[in-house]
Amino acid sequence: MDEVPVDEVPVDEVPVDEVPVDEVPVDEVLVERRNGVLLVTINRPGTRNALNRTVAETVAAAVDELDADDELRVGVLTGAGGTFSAGMDLKAFLRGESPAIEGRGLCGITQTPPRKPLVAAVEGWALAGGFELVLACDLVVAAETARFGVPEVKRSLVAAGGGALLLPTRVPANVAMEMLLTGDPIDARRAAEVGLVNRLTPEGGALDGALALAGTVAANGPLALTATKAVVRGSADWTTAEGWARQADLVAPVFASEDAREGAAAFAEKRRPVWRGR
């Protein structure tokens, strides 16, 4: 979609234009399984994928499915219609709906992200609450035309849905401070330069790029993936001594697992490993 000046997009909310009944999506979130990857698509393109309660609950349920199902290794989160998400649905908010899940954060992932890896595929705008969903993901693939922002201060608000807390963990502190204090968006190339975006694609290619990256991750040992993510995510809150102790607790079951033996055997036999998740 054409870029919209950030000042024209309300903070953490998108005005929902009336959409003809025959254009209203049947499902506001689409969930698909693809070879061990769970693809979750926010499917409200007529509202720039604004976040309402239905979207929040469905995304949260999909994340629960990802963590609970041993056949699923990685999740991919994206938006339909050329936009990731421009934030909260204002009309839904005025009806008393909130896209935050109690104790879990926005769409159930900003406070309590899944144990398994989650990849964001970003086209177009990822603003306010939409950007906070991106920050909850472990890896980010973005089209070169994507834009990211936390414009809350422009309306005398604070990016309290995760932006102010999570952004400094993903980019240098001075970059996070500039984004949060100015409210100005950055483009995908700048996001890649500061470490927020892992891979850039041509416009329209973010999903394919994210699925390819997810497939590479999913080919690895599932127990090793969840343990590695737990160490990386937890390390910011641990002292050095505590980190070594916590890591030992997390990785011991992995090294003692059937999958670890299978990995070594497959390497010695020059074949692909067959993971059992145990």
Q: Which residues are catalytic?
A: 132, 152
Contacts by 176-180 with C-beta closer than 8 Å and gap 24+? 179/149, 179/150, 180/150, 180/153
Terminal CA-to-CA distance of the chain, rounded, Å? 45
AA identity, residue 138: D
Taking the mean position of all CA atoms in its chain, how far away is CA 35? 19
User: Across 54-145, where does the E strand assignment appear?
Assistant: 74-79, 88-89, 100-101, 105-106, 118-122, 125-127, 139-143
Strands 100-101 vs 105-106: parallel, antiparallel or unpaired: antiparallel
Report the C-alpha gap between 275 and 259 in whole angstroms. Answer: 6
